[in-house]
Structure formats: structure tokens, C-alpha cells
Amino acid sequence: MELLLTSARAVAVYVLMLMVIRALGKRTVGNFSAFDLLVALMLGEVVDEIIYGDVMFAQGAIAIVAIAALAYADSWLAYLHPRMEAVLEGKPTIIVRDGRFERAGMRSERMNEKDVMAHLRTEGVHDMREVHLAVVELDGTVSILKHEWADPAQKADVVQEDARAREQVLGDKDTPPPSLRTDSPTALNAA
């Protein structure tokens, strides 16, 4: 009975911590998804308790197995049901669109203009008007997609042989289909 209670406590702490980490926002978790951070924190704490003898080995093992089962179930649930992924992991947040600040996205990520500009600078953006989209990803990093006219020239733009190789891969379509675009509503979980 004690081992079952330990497993139930591990599940309850997991759910509570996931809600707290999600409420704190993506930038809080650094380069982890909220889910990855939660699993690392909980496993670290359980291992600490086992090593120092604060809990019986069997109790700690049950807690570790319960956390691992939740992690496994969470990843499969997110994979099989994209809407659940948004609930469990969150959605990318747009903070710049077409060279203008997206105030709603900035507010939800608790970012001010200086924060956004700092992220743009780290990506080598000198002029915000070059930016088609700047997005806070699930792991807290900021991705930047420039307008096509602001993209640097590629070798295939200059060298004929590389241009032919690009044409073989892309055909006569310079614009990728929606399923391959990184700025499509599907890719941004804007469902």
C-alpha cells in the first residue's frame, strides 16, 4: 500500500509542477521544454532522496518508474494528439511579425522591447524590418525567419552547377508547400 501511495504522490507532484512550470513561461525553462525540465527536476530529487536514505529504495524506484511512465505517456500523447501537445508543452509564441512587435505575444512571454531587440541582435539582425517572424519556441529560444529579400545570397544564386542541383531538388517551385514551411499555422500550432 505504501508503494502505491508513493506512486500516487509522484503523479500528483508531476501534475502540480507541470502546471507551475507552464505558468512561469517558456523563458523560465531555458533550453528545455517545460516537460523536460520537470522530469529532470523530479528524477534528481528522487535520486537524492534515495542516495541519502530519506526514502526506502523500493519507494524511490516506484517514484522513478511512475515519473518515467508519465514522461513516456506524455510524449506519446503529444505525438498522437497535436491539440494535447499544445496543452502539455505549449505553443510557439510570435513576438515580431513583418518587422513590427507583436504586443500580445510579448505580453504572454513577459518580454519587453529591449528583450526582443537583444534576441534579434544575437541572430545578427540589424534592422527589425528584415524580420518576417520572430518566435519564442517551446524551449524558450527565439527563432528568426527573415523576409526572402533579406536572406543572404546562397551559392546556388551565383554558381550555375549549384543552381541546377537546387532545381533538381525543388523543381520549378521556389516556394515550399505549406506542409514544409516553418512559418505555417501547422508548424506554429495555431490550430
pLDDT in tens, 65-114: 888 888 888 878 888 887 877 777 778 999 999 999 999 999 999 899 99
Instruction: Report the predicted TM-score, pTM, of the whole model to 2 decimal places.
Output: 0.62
Q: Could you report the per-residue pLDDT of 130-164, keeping only the tens digit for each?
A: 999 999 988 788 999 998 888 888 777 788 888 88
| Pure H helices in the chain | 2-24, 34-51, 57-80, 82-89, 103-108, 113-122, 160-170
Mean pLDDT computed over 45-56? 80
The H or E element that residue 96 is part of is: strand 93-97
Torsion of CA 32, 38, 43, 45, to 10 degrees: 110
> Contact, 150 vs 124, CB < 8 A?
no
Q: In the structure, what pLDDT confidence band is assigned to residue 191 with cuts at 50, 70 and 90?
A: very low
Q: Please report the pLDDT score of residue 26 as a whole number.
A: 60
Q: Classify domain 92-148 by CATH architecture.
A: 2-Layer Sandwich (3.30)
